[in-house]
Structure 1
Amino acid sequence: MKNTKYDFKSIIDRHDTNCLKWDLFDDDVPMWVADMDFKVAPAIEKAIQKRASHPIYGYTLIPDELFEAYINWWDSRYNFKMSKENMAYSIGVMPSISSMIRCLTDEGDNILIQSPVYHVFFYFIQDNNRNVIENELIYENGQYSIDFEDLDEKLSDVEMMILCNPQNPVGKIWSSEDLKHIGELCRKHDVVLISDEIHCDLTNPGLKYNPFETSSDYDKVITCLSPSKSFNIAGFQSSIVHSKNGELLEKIKTQMQLDNSSACNVFATTAVIAAYEESEEWLDELRKVLYENRQTVKRYLAEELPVVKLVEGDATYLLWLDCSALNVHSKILGEFLRSNQGLFLSPGHEFGECGKDFLRMNVACPEELLMDGLRRLKAGIIALKNISNGL
């Protein structure tokens, strides 16, 4: 955007801050892990600085105001009515899901996910000695959809389904009709459904996601929510789980206490309340910036690198790039881009083998950095083609 109230242009040097994205590996342009290279909303920074000025950082209670912030946000933006008695605090969505896997399924059980999907789902299922069952999404004419016939068949032999809504990495907002159909099939087969909605706020301007619980009346559902992606505050480790099913929620609370994942970071509540109560304008401007970055990538690929296609998406700052025309496995392509250009994109096979022809690109960064990444992508693919051609 040419004129913005907030600063989405400054490049912030994140080196030497113990930053996972910039300090873990020696890459020039890391565009992989899902955090943003933008300053946080001023209200969050101000609130954290105020709390930091108090010189004691001991154990922290979770105030009612935090739950009220969640409740008001989802009610006003998505007409999703929640109540405190149906909520539980957690240090993060994935720790919550890991706890739910342990307390709601047994070792050896089958858990269904819809690939290509967030790769950590695979790890947590397997690390907890459960089996991954994949309901592969249908990719046709550059768009993704759900294979409901396959889903119906596979749900007959699973105990749990983990849904990603909006979907990471393909950026799809699932329709209310799709979600209602999923709920009907889960009810038919008596399957517990976990809905990971962590990317829900990061939709294209003019679009809103559909919360599962406003689209389906199925009762064995747990929704995972967090401001960490929306406001770039993952380091504070804060989320909630919501379920109207009291029996499920009590089991989850007990397991999270056993896993020590329900304690609160001393700065977490401060950051979350400032995000939801004072930073809505910043978020809506961010969404416009992310959409423009998406359009920049689309134009660049069409004009400079037509061999790579952008999969059209509705949400997230994670772009799914169709590299099938290169006929190179994503593992090889990703490794070459890193070694040849210092560009780190996520190889698509990590999200399921059906993603082997794709790369995932994080575009939540200033335009200058985005263009650097795109130029490196082009240069790397040209270099790889020259090597393949023996030049």
Structure 2
Amino acid sequence: MNYNFDEIINRNGTDSVKWDGVEGRWGRNDLIPMWVADMDFRTAPFVIEALKKRLEHEVLGYTFACKEWAASIIHWLKERHGWSVTEEMLTFTPGIVRGLAFAIHCFTEKGDKVMVMPPVYHPFFLVAQKNEREVVFSPLVLRNGQYYIDFDRFRRDVQGCKILILSNPHNPGGRVWTKEELSQIADICQETGTLVISDEIHADLTLPPYKHPTFALTSEKARMNSLVFMSPSKAFNMPGLASSYVIIENEELLRRFRTYMEASEFCEGHLFAYLSVAAAYSHGTEWLDQVIAYIKGNVDFTENYLREHIPAVKMIRPQASYLIFLDCRELGLNQESLNRLFVERAHLALNDGTTFGKEGEGFMRLNVACPRATLEQALKQLERAVNNE
């Protein structure tokens, strides 16, 4: 069937962080929200139907994972990513950021070094800092419109780090790392004794013609020295269900992490956490292919609009996901003035680029997972703001 992603859905009044949280954050409610990384499309209908069907039985008692949970993950990873895993390798986590925090507690002590590569998804370093770990920042290099890893610097910076938190694909830049890059990361981290935590939440939103390389599949060193976190929450628009999982192939790492998780029952999901994953992975291929095509169309639309109407604003074209890092440095504004331009003149709510580290200065992150009409209106408002109309 054909799904309608042009439908404009009113999300106000649903306790939405993205929509209802605008006034609390910016002190006004006349902004188009294009910040928080969820989609303004309906959650995949087969997920909604699975939840409705369960609610027909009007007893919401204690539950455990349905057998379809693990089976659907195993099938999805094999069909979509060519990764053969077993049920024993899977551990439920109540969201990926929480999973990262659990891994930091499990494998490091206070004062240990944790490395990130900014600009990068800010909870990576905020969670580490708030848990009293020392964060090592090893910046990416922006070259020819894409981010790259400076491996000479990487090798120096990772010395003494207990953990590397890798954004794979990259957020906010949307870069799909190559197998060669990931294999080089694995080689260096194996030499330095640095455990790699690969956040692959955007993997299923990789845009054609790119293919997502799962970190653990790039080499034997990667497979034996990594925790790979995944979830259908981004791809099928259900992050409010806080359902993700981690794949660990190294038996000793798995034993340590599973023991930590079970000690506080962190690996126990709620009723809908398991059902939603099983529904998404069992019935989601066609829906996901269509939403990816629509997102790619929005990326193309944004790129063309900026080139034709706002040439001073460039974009890093994402190879995965619906997040676009806008390069606004040609406007000649400091970050405070840039934020004012977007909020007070364009009436848009985007993520400040410096949220992702000081390397994001002069940038803004735009979420294009919305109906094309909404995106067009937002870009028109930005055009008028930039041109002082």
Tell me if both proteins adopt one fold, taking TM over 0.5 as the criterion.
Answer: yes
Matched residue pairs, number? Answer: 381
Question: What are the equivalent positions in structure 2 for 1:126-137 lying under 5 Å apart?
Answer: 126-137=129-140
What is the identity, as a one-letter code, of the residue corresponding to 2:112?
D
Alignment correspondent of 2:17: 20
Alignment counterpart, residue 266 of structure 2, candidates 261, 267, 271: 261
Report sequence identity in percent.
36
What is the identity, as a one-letter code, of the residue corresponding to 1:226?
S
Partner of 1:222: helix, strand, or coil? strand
Alignment counterpart, residue 86 of structure 1, candidates 84, 89, 99: 89
What is the identity, as a one-letter code, of the residue corresponding to 1:374?
L
Alignment counterpart, residue 161 of structure 1, candidates 144, 161, 164: 164
Alignment correspondent of 1:289: 294
Alignment correspondent of 1:389: none
Q: Is the 8 A contact 1:321 1:359 kept in 2?
A: yes
What is the identity, as a one-letter code, of the residue corresponding to 1:5?
N
Alignment counterpart, residue 279 of structure 2, candidates 274, 282, 285: 274
Cα separation, 2, equivalents of 1:190 and 1:335: 45
Alignment counterpart, residue 245 of structure 2, candidates 221, 240, 246: 240
Alignment correspondent of 1:31: 34
Alignment correspondent of 1:320: 325
Alignment correspondent of 2:235: 230
Partner of 1:252: helix, strand, or coil? helix
* Structure 1 residue 131: Cα displacement: 1.3
* Structure 1 residue 56: Cα displacement: 1.7
Q: Is the 8 A contact 1:92 1:238 kept in 2?
A: yes
What is the identity, as a one-letter code, of the residue corresponding to 2:168?
N
What is the identity, as a one-letter code, of the residue corresponding to 2:205?
L
Residue segments in structure 2 that go unaligned for 5+ positions in a row: 24-28
- Change in Cα spacing, 1:259 to 1:298, as seen in structure 2 (3 Å) is farther
Post-superposition Cα deviations, 1:79-102, rounded to whole Å, max 9, x if no partner, equal: 111111111111111101001111
| Farther-moved stretch of structure 1 (247-256 vs 234-243) | 247-256
Partner of 2:180: helix, strand, or coil? helix
Alignment counterpart, residue 194 of structure 1, candidates 197, 215, 224: 197
1:6 aligned onto 2:9: no
Cα separation, 2, equivalents of 1:18 and 1:88: 29
Question: What are the equivalent positions in structure 2 for 1:140-155 lying under 5 Å apart?
Answer: 140-155=143-158
Alignment counterpart, residue 112 of structure 1, candidates 111, 115, 120: 115
Residue segments in structure 1 that go unaligned for 5+ positions in a row: 387-391
* Structure 1 residue 142: Cα displacement: 1.4
* Structure 1 residue 24: Cα displacement: 1.2
Cα separation, 1, equivalents of 2:323 and 2:125: 19
Alignment correspondent of 2:256: 251
Q: Is the 8 A contact 2:174 2:324 kept in 1?
A: yes
Cα separation, 1, equivalents of 2:235 and 2:340: 29
- Change in Cα spacing, 1:46 to 1:119, as seen in structure 2 (3 Å) is same
Partner of 1:5: helix, strand, or coil? coil
Post-superposition Cα deviations, 1:306-363, rounded to whole Å, max 9, x if no partner, equal: 0000112210100011111112233441244223333111111111101101111000
Cα separation, 2, equivalents of 1:334 and 1:250: 46
* Structure 1 residue 260: Cα displacement: 4.6
Alignment correspondent of 2:212: 209
Alignment counterpart, residue 358 of structure 2, candidates 353, 356, 360: 353
Alignment counterpart, residue 329 of structure 1, candidates 324, 334, 339: 334
Alignment correspondent of 1:46: 49
1:74 aligned onto 2:71: no
Q: Is the 8 A contact 1:340 1:380 kept in 2?
A: yes
What is the identity, as a one-letter code, of the residue corresponding to 1:10?
E
- Change in Cα spacing, 1:125 to 1:332, as seen in structure 2 (3 Å) is farther
Q: Is the 8 A contact 2:116 2:136 kept in 1?
A: yes
What is the identity, as a one-letter code, of the residue corresponding to 2:139?
E
1:309 aligned onto 2:306: no
Partner of 1:240: helix, strand, or coil? strand
Superposed CA RMSD in Å reads 1.5
